[in-house]
Amino acid sequence: MINKIYLFFKNLIDGLNPYKYKSIDLFNLGLYGKALGINTYINGGDATVIIDGFTSVSCEGMEIVTEYIVGPYTIKVCFDQKNNEYIYVAELFPKPPKSLMNDIESKIGLILNMIPNDKIINDHDLMDIISRVLDIDHDYIEVALYLIKQILGYGKLQVLLDDVNVEDISITGSGPIWVRLSSSVISDPDVDMVKTNILLTLPEIISLQQYIANRSGYYVSQSNPIIDIQMPIKDGGHRVHIVSSTVAGSRPEIAIRKKIRRKILIKDLIECKTINNAIDRYFINIIRNNGSILIAGPPGSGKTTLLKAILYTYIPYNWKVVIIEDTPEIDPPENSSWVRYNTYELGRLNIDQFTLAKAALRASVSRVIVIGETRGSEAQVLAQALNMGMVALTTFHGGSTNEVVTRLRSPPINLAQDQIANIWAVATMGFKNVDGSRRRVLERIDEISYVDGRIKIHKIYRYEDDYDIDPDSLINRSIRLRNKDITY
């Protein structure tokens, strides 16, 4: 039986199914399955709830902003003019009868047991087994297949994880799940999170927290109530922040920042008007002259996206690159000489970014060091790398260059002014209304210099004034590049 379940899991994980729903794990047949399995999908007695634990909200009488398909789900994003809010509605189509849900619950073991030990099956084979075991109408076979994968995956979250238009998922206590949708779906600059018709109870959230943590090799407890982890790569590698009821009381939190599946390049940021061609040329000149870039901005402003675009666009795969992160977000390209170090903590063992940064300097890295987020003592090693003439890239929480400099000089970082001046450019990300929608943009670029014992900040670019600037004019503003007298 275990071998057959393993083969079923391996089939999905290896990507043979056309929907690419790969979130499968044996743990779901235990504690998590009891909390988020079939029984929670049938909520008889509550007139406002239908199967799947989704509310019976419909878009009737509302403006349908967009409509698309995710597996067997029809997704509608509606605007409710009465309450002045957007609503994300996911509905199974065709809607399965409750009897099908009961059959799946009682016969899922039989379905798994019918998978041959010596055969790797695809979705077509699996649907044939489902059809024979459940004896259901052909119209419901694909729905049943998805529901089985959903139950063995992340339950009610699965459709949101599979929806490429969902960028972030937010769960804060019992009630509806909230999502942040891509600007191509909702262009309203005043909208942040959108309420869904997907409901979670408090016990479901607590169980889901533990399930996600265990699946990622961690645990949630009274002694470990706040964790930041990455989902397994086969599940998307999304970044997850969990705060248990030990700290959050009756509103335990799960925040999922979804990982973009394809590599974002600078040309993509130009197309969506995050940056322009002049900044493209400016950045490549900094990298080719062994300069450093610190990318600042508030949470969710696109700091890591810009960092990855710079890496994947400008840095050759044969350069020795070391990437240091708390939560893995920057994937080294296949067949490259890049390496990624991640922090690790288990009991008294604590391998922090400072330890990893020191290790990086011993790893023959001579061209590029990347620190996913600078916030503590690892900045000292970053400063050392800058002194060695290496390309250094990092992100930093801060709303302006002045704020960045102040924080770099203050505890726990405590960099000297001349060390800070080794940073060539501070690129500040933010949000602007672009073409009627709220977009992430590069708001400002400043260069830092050290003159007469003082830090000086020189404005190079400001979005409102310089978005249409030509590349030569922007390059000519750069004190760093003028001093180098080399441009590309």
pLDDT, tens digit, 9 for 90 and up, residues 247-261: 999 999 999 999 887
State the helix-helix crossing angle for 98-113 and 123-134, rounded to 10 degrees: 120
Among the listed residues 417, 403, 422, the one whose alpha carbon sits nearest the alpha carbon of residue 480:
422
Q: What is the predicted pLDDT for the residue at 378?
A: 77
Among the listed residues 79, 98, 116, the one whose alpha carbon sits nearest the alpha carbon of residue 3:
116
Residue 13 has pLDDT above 50, yes or no: no
pLDDT bucket at 208, cuts 50 / 70 / 90: very high
pLDDT bucket at 23, cuts 50 / 70 / 90: very low
pLDDT, tens digit, 9 for 90 and up, residues 117-167: 666 667 777 888 888 888 887 788 888 888 887 777 788 899 999 999 999
Residue 217 has pLDDT above 60, yes or no: yes
- 360 versus 324: the higher-pLDDT residue is 324
Distance of CA 278 to the CA centre of its chain: 28
- Kindly state the helix (H) or strand (E) to which residue 215 belongs, with its residue range: helix 202-215
Q: What is the mean pLDDT of residues 226-239?
A: 89
- The reported pTM is 0.70
Residue 483 has pLDDT above 80, yes or no: no
Question: CA-to-CA distance for 81 and 169, rounded, in angstroms?
Answer: 24
Q: What is the mean pLDDT of residues 175-201?
A: 90
Please tell me the least confidently modeled range out of 27-36, 104-113, 401-410: 27-36
Contact present, 401 and 444 (Cβ < 8 Å)? yes
Burial status of residue 270 (CB atoms within 10 A of its CB: 0-12, 13-18, 19 or more): middle
Q: Give whole-number Cα distances, 59 to 39, 72, 134, 209, in Å.
A: 27, 18, 32, 31
Residue 28 has pLDDT above 50, yes or no: no
Token pair of 88, please?
A: 């994300």
Residue 20 has pLDDT above 50, yes or no: no
Q: What is the predicted pLDDT for the residue at 167?
A: 93
pLDDT, tens digit, 9 for 90 and up, residues 55-114: 656 788 899 999 999 988 999 999 999 889 999 999 988 777 778 878 887 887 788 787
How much of the chain, in percent, has pLDDT values that exceed 90?
45
State the helix-helix crossing angle for 98-113 and 2-13, rounded to 10 degrees: 110
Residue 6 has pLDDT above 50, yes or no: no
Residue 470 has pLDDT above 60, yes or no: yes
- 106 versus 394: the higher-pLDDT residue is 394
Please tell me the least confidently modeled range out of 141-145, 216-220, 345-349: 345-349
Phi, psi of 17 (to 5 degrees): -80, 140
Residue 339 has pLDDT above 80, yes or no: yes
- Our CA angle for 195, 237, 164, nearest 5°, is 45
What's the number of CA atoms in the CB half-sphere (13 Å) around residue 239? 14
pLDDT, tens digit, 9 for 90 and up, residues 291-338: 999 999 998 899 999 999 999 999 999 998 999 988 788 889 988 999
- Kindly state the helix (H) or strand (E) to which residue 123 belongs, with its residue range: helix 123-134
What domains are defined for the chain?
A: 2-257 (3.30.450.380), 266-484 (3.40.50.300)
Residue 443 has pLDDT above 90, yes or no: yes
Q: What is the predicted pLDDT for the residue at 309?
A: 96
Phi, psi of 329 (to 5 degrees): -130, -25
Cβ neighbours for 34, distance < 8 A, ≥ 6 positions apart:
207
Burial status of residue 82 (CB atoms within 10 A of its CB: 0-12, 13-18, 19 or more): exposed
- 118 versus 226: the higher-pLDDT residue is 226
Residue 17 has pLDDT above 90, yes or no: no
Residue 488 has pLDDT above 70, yes or no: no
Mean pLDDT of the residues in the chain: 82
How much of the chain, in percent, has pLDDT values that exceed 70?
86
Q: What is the predicted pLDDT for the residue at 486?
A: 53
